Structure 1
Amino acid sequence: MEIVFTENNLLGDEPFTTDEVIAEYAEVKRTSVTRLIRKYLDDLKGVGKLGFQIRPSDSGQKIKIYHLNEQQATLIITYLDNTEPVRRFKKMLVEQFFIMKQELMKRQIIREMEKPVRKGLTDTIKEYMPDDKWAYGNITRLLCKTVTNHNPKQLKELRNAKNSHSLMDVLTSEEFESYQSLEQKVVTLIELGMDYYKIKEVISRKE
Structure 2
Amino acid sequence: MNDLVFMHGLNEEPYTTDKIIAECSNNQLKVVKNLIRNHKQDLEEFGFLHFENAKLPGRGRPQKTYHLNEQQATLLITYLDNTPEVNQFKKNLVREFYRMRKELNQRQINRAIEKPQRKSLMDAVKDWPHVTQWSYRNMTQLLLKRATGGMTAQQIKKQRHVKVALDGLTLKEQERYKQLENIAIGLVGLNKTWDEVKGVLLLA
Counterpart in the other structure of 1:169: 167
Counterpart in the other structure of 2:142: 142
How many Å separate the matches in 2 of 1:92 and 1:127?
52
| 1:129 counterpart SS class | coil
- Give the 5 Å matches for 1:95-174: 95-129=95-129, 132-148=132-148, 149-161=150-162, 165-174=163-172
- Relative distance call for 1:158 and 1:89 in structure 2 (3 A) is closer
Counterpart in the other structure of 1:64: 64
- Relative distance call for 1:26 and 1:145 in structure 2 (3 A) is closer
- Relative distance call for 1:46 and 1:183 in structure 2 (3 A) is same
CA drift of 1:38 comes to 2.4
- Relative distance call for 1:61 and 1:152 in structure 2 (3 A) is closer
- Asked whether the 8 Å contact 2:144–2:153 carries over to 1, the reply is yes
Counterpart in the other structure of 1:179: 177
- Asked whether the 8 Å contact 1:53–1:65 carries over to 2, the reply is yes
The unaligned stretches of length 5 or more in structure 2 are: none
CA drift of 1:16 comes to 1.7
Counterpart in the other structure of 1:30: 29
How many Å separate the matches in 2 of 1:65 and 1:157?
18
| 1:21 counterpart SS class | helix
Identity of aligned residues (%): 41
Counterpart in the other structure of 2:13: 14
Counterpart in the other structure of 1:5: 6
- Relative distance call for 1:200 and 1:95 in structure 2 (3 A) is same
Deviations 1:102-161 (A, max 9, x none): 222222111100011011111222234385333222211221222221332343344454
- Relative distance call for 1:151 and 1:52 in structure 2 (3 A) is closer
| 2:67 counterpart SS class | strand
Letter in 1 for 2:91: K
| 2:64 counterpart SS class | strand
How many Å separate the matches in 1 of 2:64 and 2:137?
41
How many Å separate the matches in 2 of 1:71 and 1:28?
20
The unaligned stretches of length 5 or more in structure 1 are: none
CA drift of 1:56 comes to 5.2
- Asked whether the 8 Å contact 2:147–2:176 carries over to 1, the reply is yes
Normalising by structure 1, we get a TM-score of 0.84
- Asked whether the 8 Å contact 1:129–1:135 carries over to 2, the reply is no
How many Å separate the matches in 2 of 1:185 and 1:160?
28
How many Å separate the matches in 1 of 2:159 and 2:143?
17
Deviations 1:53-89 (A, max 9, x none): 3345688364433221110010011222322221101
